[in-house]
């Protein structure tokens, strides 16, 4: 009985996200708009909690795109929202191409490796690919720290350099 109630609640949440019904927060970034619910997003992403608390002043969201897309990916995975996870992956890929040399890339990469299981290669492979394309990132202390903390990232880079080298 409890399992059925849980499934019904999850289905209801999925429906609300997909339809945008009763949404009370709109996130706009690079022409994309997400109609979301404060009670879900703010519970998981402190940035939005602070933005709402302090008047929601516009900020340069372009620089936090990689992190935003990793968090949307995490939420889509948790609530099994079909299509949203793939969309977040595609947007993360574009953000990596654009912001690979920005400090937020390392923060987003850390979030990817600390919130996804080893078996979920969706964003992990994009982080590895981005670093392998821009090996100068290895000179940054925050990237070095990532490679030390997450053996899977270091191993993924070794595999990529072996394939291309």
- Total domains in the chain come to 1
Average pLDDT, the chain: 84
| β-bridge mates for residue 25, sequence order | 36
Top pLDDT among 153 and 160 is at: 153
Residue 82's domain spans which residues? 2-164
Does residue 5 have a pLDDT over 90? no
| β-bridge mates for residue 26, sequence order | 35
User: What pLDDT is attached to residue 51?
Assistant: 66
Distances (CA, A) of 110 to 12, 91, 141: 31, 17, 13
Going by the DSSP 8-state scheme, the letter that residue 102 receives in this structure is S
Top pLDDT among 66 and 10 is at: 66
Q: List phi, psi (to 5°) of 118.
A: -55, -30
pTM for this predicted structure: 0.65
Instruction: Tell me the two tokens of residue 153.
Output: 């990232």
Segment 14-72, tens digit of pLDDT: 777 677 777 777 776 667 777 777 777 777 777 777 666 655 555 455 567 888 899 99
């Amino acid at each position: 009985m409890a399992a059925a109630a849980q499934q019904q609640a999850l289905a209801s949440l999925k429906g609300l996200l997909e339809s945008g019904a009763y949404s009370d927060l709109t996130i706009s970034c690079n022409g994309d708009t997400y109609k979301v619910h404060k009670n879900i997003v703010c519970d998981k992403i402190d940035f939005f909690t602070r933005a709402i608390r302090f008047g929601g002043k516009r900020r340069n969201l372009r620089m936090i795109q990689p992190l935003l897309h990793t968090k949307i990916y995490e939420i889509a995975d948790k609530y099994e929202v079909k299509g949203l996870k793939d969309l977040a992956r595609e947007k993360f890929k574009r953000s990596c191409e654009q912001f690979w040399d920005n400090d937020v890339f390392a923060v987003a990469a850390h979030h990817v490796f600390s919130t996804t299981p080893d078996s979920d290669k969706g964003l992990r492979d994009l982080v590895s690919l981005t670093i392998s394309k821009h090996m100068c990132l290895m000179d940054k202390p925050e990237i070095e720290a990532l490679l030390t903390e997450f053996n899977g990232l270091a191993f993924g880079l070794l595999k990529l350099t072996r394939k291309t080298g």
